[in-house]
Amino acid sequence: MKIAALENNILAIVAGAFAATIAAEDIEPQFHALTHFPDRRARSELADLAERLNQFGAYVVELWNKACEPIPEAEIEAFARRHVDLTRRYWAAEGRCMNWFITGPARFPVARNEKRMRISDARRADLKAHEAMARKAAKRKAFPYGADDEPTRSGDPSALQRIMTRIEELALSIDRMKAANAIIRRMEKDLSSEEDMISAVVAHTGLSADAAARGIKLAPWQSRRGFTTTNRRAELRRLQQRLAALARMKERGTQSQEVETSAGAVEIKENADIARIQLIFPGKPDDPTRRALKANGFRWSPSQGAWQRHLNEAGRYAAQRVLKTISAA
C-alpha cells in the first residue's frame, strides 16, 4: 500500500481520511543553519518520511493478508497522522540547531546549541519508537495469540492442540533420528560410502537428503557421524510439562476471591480463559501500591481493567507478595 508519493519536491500523503501535502521549499528554511545545501536536506527528509510511511503500510498489508483479515485502514491512518506530527516536531527541533561551520565559530553558543541538539535527538528517537510500537501493535491485533511461527501463548484457545501437535512432531523426529543412527552405525561397519548412507537414511526414515547429509557428512571439527537427540528430548519434556500445567489450569477454571487491604477490597482473579492472574482494585492504586505491582511483574491492562501477569505458580506467589506489601502499609 502506497501512502506517500514524492514528486517535484512535493510530498503528498493520503491515508484514509487523513491527507497532507508538504513541499520541500516550505521546510527548507529549517535547515539553513545546519548545511550549505538546505534544499538537498529538505528533499532527503521528505524522502525518508515517505519511505517510513510506505514501509509501514506495506508491513500492515502483508501482516493482515497472512491473518486473512480485511486491511485495517484506520490503523494506517492513525499511524500516518501521528507520524507526520512527530516528524514536524523533529524538524522544528532540528531547525533550532546550528552548525558553526555554517554560522561561523565566533561567539558560537555552544551550551545552548548542545541543549537544542539533545532535544532534536530526542525527537528523532520518538520517531523510531513510534514506528516500532505501531508495528508491534499492528502485529498484536492481527495475531492476538501470536503467529504460527511464534511460541504458543497460554491464552490461545488452541494452545493445548498446538502443543500436542508439536509434541507429536518432536517425537516423530526423534524416532527418525534414532532409526537413522542405527542405519549409519550398521553401514559404517560395512565401510559404506557417505552417498550410500544418505540414500539408505532417506529411503528408510523419511528424512530429506539435506537433513540426512547433515548427520552423515563430517565437518572438520566432528569425529563421529550421526544425529544427537539431546536437545529435542529436552524440548519434548518441557512441552509435556507445559501441556500438563495448561490442562490443570483449564480444569481448574476461573476463580476469584476478595482480600481486604489498605487499598480497599482487592479481587484476586485467576482468569483461565486468558491465562492471567489479575488484581482488581476498587479504584486507582496509590503510588506505593503501583510501585509494588510493577516490581512484582504486574502490568496494567486497560481492556481487562486489572493489573495482571501470567497465570502460573510464580504469578500466584507474586500476587501474594503484593497483597502482603500493601496490607502491611
Give the C-alpha separation, 258 to 282, whole Å: 11
pLDDT of the residue at 92: 94
For residues 250 and 244, give the distance between their C-alpha atoms in angstroms, rounded to a whole number.
10
**Residue 11 has which C-alpha cell?**
510530498
Q: Quote the pLDDT of residue 143.
A: 85
Q: Is 19 in contact with 13 (CB distance < 8 Å)?
A: yes
User: Would you state the pLDDT for residue 158?
Assistant: 82
The C-alpha atoms of residue 180 and residue 205 are separated, in whole angstroms, by 6
Task: Kindly report whether the global pTM for this prediction surpasses the value 0.75.
Answer: no
Q: How many residues does the chain have?
A: 329
Burial of 74 (0-12, 13-18, 19+ CB in 10 A): exposed
- What are the mean pLDDT values of the chain's consecutive 10-residue runs (329 residues total)? 91 93 94 91 95 94 85 89 96 90 82 92 96 92 79 81 92 94 93 91 92 89 89 95 89 86 86 90 91 94 92 91 81
**277 beta partners:** 270, 309
| Strand-strand pairing, 10-15 and 276-280 | unpaired
Task: Name residue 22's beta-bridge partners.
Answer: 11
Residues 6+ apart with CB under 8 A from 246: 154, 159, 160, 163, 275
C-beta separation of 215 from 222 below 8 A: no
Cβ–Cβ < 8 Å for 212, 180: yes
